[in-house]
Copies of this chain bind each other. A is one copy, B any other.
Amino acid sequence: MTLLHTIYLIAIAAEAASGALMGMRRRMDLFGLCVVGTVTALGGGTIRDLILGHYPLGWVAHPEYLAFTVGAAIVAALLARRLDRLKTAFLWMDALGLVAFTVIGCDIAEQAGASIVVVILMGMTTGVFGGLLRDILCNQVPLVLRRDLYATVSLVTGMLYVGLQHAGVGAGLATGVAIGIGFALRMLAIRFALALPVLEANTSSFDDELDERH
């Protein structure tokens, strides 16, 4: 549990940082950065706990995590002022949170006795949802729905974590391998613009009434 607890702290710090960085892009004030950072950090676990009926929620039972995420958001915002390429820092933090939370989510679902499909899906949900909420709050096209293998990385990470343990590998090693390979895969996908195939189709019929955003 100690390793997973450490991974959890890393995960929420990274997600909080990604939220704060995205918030700075939207010129949010300090409170807004803390809100977005906290929502990004705790959103994935909250959705997973709601879906599994897993009460009380993690941060309701341990509100000290709220202080941790707020602190991480503020630190990230202060450090960000010195960076030239905020986007790189953002993508690194988001990727770390993605894979770490995928492992955390799989583990919680396993403890709750879910089937293997749901375990991997809960891992993906936990990994992806915080960033999704961040992107919606900040009015961004959600990263998870763009190219660069975002959800695929989460799926691979979850499958590695679950699969390695089923093959007899210890939890600690499975955690490290899954997170390491998942993070590397996401970095490669960003660097080389890897993508799954896009099925082309004639979507011109959509481009009238439905296109009025407002």
A142: CB under 8 A from chain B?
yes
Which 10 pairs, one residue from A and one from B, show the smallest C-beta to C-beta distance? A29-B196, A53-B55, A87-B205, A63-B117, A85-B205, A80-B201, A25-B203, A81-B201, A30-B196, A25-B206
7 A-B pairs within 8 Å (CB atoms) are namely A25-B203, A27-B198, A30-B198, A32-B145, A67-B117, A86-B205, A137-B145
Number of copies of this chain in the oligomer? Answer: 3
Residue in B closest to A203 when the chains form the complex, CB atoms: B25
Cα-based distance from A121 to B64 in the complex (angstroms): 12
Cα-based distance from A32 to B146 in the complex (angstroms): 7
How far in angstroms is the closest Cβ of chain B from A60? 5
Inter-chain contact B141/A213, CB cutoff 8 Å? yes
How far in angstroms is the closest Cβ of chain B from A30? 5
Given the known inter-chain contacts A36-B145, A114-B60, A141-B214, please indicate yes or no for A88 contacting B205, CB distance below 8 A.
Answer: yes
List B contacts of A86 (CB < 8 A): 201-203, 205-206
A26: CB under 8 A from chain B?
yes
Cα-based distance from A53 to B55 in the complex (angstroms): 7
Inter-chain contact A212/B141, CB cutoff 8 Å? yes
List B contacts of A213 (CB < 8 A): 139-141
List B contacts of A201 (CB < 8 A): 24, 77, 80-81, 83, 86
Cα-based distance from A87 to B82 in the complex (angstroms): 39
How far in angstroms is the closest Cβ of chain B from A1? 22
Inter-chain contact A46/B51, CB cutoff 8 Å? yes
